[in-house]
Structure 1
Amino acid sequence: MVTDAEERDAGLHFVLLVRTEPDENGNYLTEAQDSVQADNGQYVFSFRHYDGVGEQEPDEVRPGTYYLVGGTDLDNDGIICQPGEACAEYPVSGLREAIHVDQNTDLTSIRMTTGFSRPTISAATPDVLPRPDFAGYRLIPEDDFVRPLKKLSGE
């Protein structure tokens, strides 16, 4: 266990702004995403306002209400926050709150803590992780942009 906060590193993280309602398959669709590495024990992410001109880039966001989440995709299946993967939700994992984003929103002061443990579920807190039937947060599909992939075989 690393005790020096500047040495903490949970691997490549994807930080997402996801829609607050899941689709018919239970997936929370991603509006914008950034991929970041730890730097001095912190993950610094940023999103840009999408002005509606040209194709929307992965880190550009339209005005709206979203969940802010981050995590790893250790099995490279395009979904973060699954069992065994690091996960962070704003303001606290398991107690996510929607945030409104527009052209004046500054997300640079937002802090989240990423971790691998999951709170225990109870009948009194059905929205706390691990949520029944929670499928994680889907990354923007590779067809929409190119992201570095880990090679899993010699193919």
Structure 2
Amino acid sequence: MSLIDQLKDQMKDAMRAKEKVRLGTIRMALAAIKQIEVDTREELTDEQAIAVLTKMVKQRRDSIAQYEAAGRPELAAIEAEEIQVIETFLPTPLSEAEVAALLDEAILAVGASSMADMGKVMGALKAKVQGRADMGAIGALIRAKLQ
């Protein structure tokens, strides 16, 4: 079953269970996916849908930081609930050891030896870790290894 089909099934379940936060978040995710499908005039693959969901999580984390800085913990709590719902549809996160192993493998595969090769390493890793690890943190790990 595709990710989009899972989202639609979970939306129906949330409607039946009258879970307002879950229902609203799933509808938001489906709307974001549908918007991209309309803009590009093609159906999204699971990998592309995962990228959309990952972006939604990142946006909500940024919003939480801004709400907390502005002294609005109630809005930050709503964003945190939405993150929990979205993360149920993302693949399981990679452990630090798995990220390190993939990083070493990618560095060897592209023959990276300096910071000039960072883009090549990021390109090799992106498909493998999409939705399973924070690319910003991986970028910092790559910088540390290539210096």
TM-score w.r.t. length of structure 2: 0.24
Larger gyration radius, structure 1 or structure 2: 2
Name the structure with the higher helix share: 2
